[in-house]
Amino acid sequence: MYLEKAKDIGDKLLPAFTSPTGLPFPVVNLHSGKAHTPSWNSGRAVLAEFGSVQLEFKQLAHHTKNRTYYDKADHVMELIRKIPKERYIIGGEDTYPLLPVFMDIDTASRPQGHISLGAMADSYYEYLLKQWLQSGKRDTRFRVMYDEFVDRVQKLLVQETVPGRWTIVGEFHGRVVPQMDHLVCFFPGLLALGAEGPSEKSHLELAKKLMETCWQMYASMPTGLAPEVATFHTKSPGPSSHPDFDVQDPKYLLRPETIESLFWLWRKTGDAQYREKGWKIFESIRKHCRTGTAYSGIKDVQQEKPELNDSMQSFTLAETFKYLFLLFANKGDGHTEDVLRKTVFTTEAHPLRVFDVVSEFDTAHAPAA
């Protein structure tokens, strides 16, 4: 029953891929089958949207034995992979292989907009590593793309705050802007998840430094909860209350990214500090967000007694509490270890089983002997 429903949804979404380039349209009318871009988007595809259909469509192809779903999704990645490198020169800066958040859906011409690991971009970069993991680490295209991405982030976007010397990942708007969404706090966990081989030491070192910054965004607030967006001081200290950053958007939406990263750092290192920090965040969530029926986001993390926004996003259960549960599961438990070894989590923390995607669909990308 579930497979039939998944196939039905997949078939209804396939018209998204009917653009001249094969980049999926952002919106599909499931009744009429018509696909289009919304008026605010001006004919552009969004990086996070066309980058994060990959695991789901490839998994559907695996379970249905219909490679149409695989081909539609993988065409997008091949299109991106083959963009001429000179198109990555933005504002005089070589940004290869970092992509801005928009691409023309009809021509796949020079990418547009700012570069960020946050909103409208995050899950594209997340899925570079996870496509490699989904393939049983056999589709080496994505490990290469992932390593190139991390290398460029280290060279272009990583900055240090003053006076605390926190490590941050900024955004690029023709120049590097020291701003981070809470969403960016998925990145320490991704680095820990992918830390192996020649790059293991440098990736894990960066993961630990960024993890500390994400934790400080929680620990520095009266509620013990992090703001949605913060800008950081990289040239001179700010006000004494928050010398390293200013809150730009004070709401907290029960987001999972920091807890997700604490989980993967705990898995990688076994360091108890990551569990301790996760527990403190959980206690803050219980104190400020729990209601008689559910959990609510709050409007301002800077208030001692914040006002609720009366909204619980679906990722609260799918991710936030799932990663908290996994964080406190017994490491070494046979069942948990077996599940994690055979599973890759989507960007919404839905578990998909690893399978040999190279042998099943695309032998041309098998690693060289």
What share of the chain has pLDDT > 90, as a percent?
83
Please report the pLDDT score of residue 298 as a whole number: 98
Structure tokens belonging to residue 190? 């991704």
Catalytic status, residue 228: yes
| Phi, psi for 130 (deg, rounded to 5) | -75, -25
Q: pLDDT tens digits, residue range 142-170?
A: 999 999 999 999 999 999 999 999 999 99
350 located within any domain: no
Please report the pLDDT score of residue 55 as a whole number: 97
Q: Map the chain to HEC letters.
A: CHHHHHHHHHHHHHHHHCCCCCCCCCEECCCCCCEECCHHHCCEEEHHHHHCCHHHHHHHHHHHCCCHHHHHHHHHHHHHHCCCHHHHEECCEECCCCCCCEEECCCCCCCECCECCCCCCHHHHHHHHHHHHHCCCCCHHHHHHHHHHHHHHHHHCEEECCCCCCEEECEECCCEECEEEHHHHHHHHHHHHCCCHHHHHHHHHHHHHHHHHHHHHHHCCCCCCCCCEEEECCCCCCCCCCCCEEEEECCECCCCHHHHHHHHHHHHHCCHHHHHHHHHHHHHHHHHHECCCCECCECCCCCCCCCECCCCCCHHHHHHHHHHHHHCCCCCCHHHHHHHHCEEECCCCCEEECCCHHHHHCHHHCCCC
d(CA 275, CA 38) in angstroms, rounded, equals: 42
101 located within any domain: yes
Q: pLDDT tens digits, residue range 199-215?
A: 999 999 999 999 999 99
Please report the pLDDT score of residue 363 as a whole number: 60
Catalytic hit among 126, 171, 228, 257: 228
Band of residue 332 on the pLDDT scale cut at 50, 70, 90? confident
Cα 184 versus chain centre, distance: 7
23 located within any domain: yes
176 located within any domain: no
263 located within any domain: no
Structure tokens belonging to residue 273? 């500090």
Q: For residue 184, what are the contacts with CB-CB under 8 A and spacing of at least 6?
A: 116, 117, 118, 122, 169, 257
Q: pLDDT tens digits, residue range 275-329?
A: 999 999 999 999 999 999 999 999 999 999 999 999 999 999 999 999 999 999 8
Q: pLDDT tens digits, residue range 102-112?
A: 999 999 877 78
The total of structural domains in the chain comes to 1
Compute the chain's Rg from CA coordinates.
21
Please report the pLDDT score of residue 364 as a whole number: 60
264 located within any domain: no
Please report the pLDDT score of residue 365 as a whole number: 61
Structural domain including 80 reads: 1-112
Band of residue 42 on the pLDDT scale cut at 50, 70, 90? confident
Pick from 110-124, 174-188, 247-261: least confident: 110-124
Please report the pLDDT score of residue 331 as a whole number: 76
Kindly state the average pLDDT of the residues 40-51: 90
108 located within any domain: yes
Give yes or no for a contact between 59 and 133, defined as CB atoms under 8 angstroms apart.
Answer: no
d(CA 48, CA 101) in angstroms, rounded, equals: 7
Kindly state the average pLDDT of the residues 23-35: 95
The per-residue pLDDT of the chain, averaged, comes to 94
* Amino acid symbol at 151: D
What's the pTM?
0.95
Kindly state the average pLDDT of the residues 263-270: 96
Please report the pLDDT score of residue 369 as a whole number: 35
Q: pLDDT tens digits, residue range 71-101?
A: 999 999 999 999 888 888 888 899 999 999 9
Q: pLDDT tens digits, residue range 216-253?
A: 999 999 999 999 999 999 999 988 778 999 999 999 99
180 located within any domain: no
In DSSP terms, 111 is beta-bridged to: none
> Which single residue is written with the structure tokens 């595809």?
45
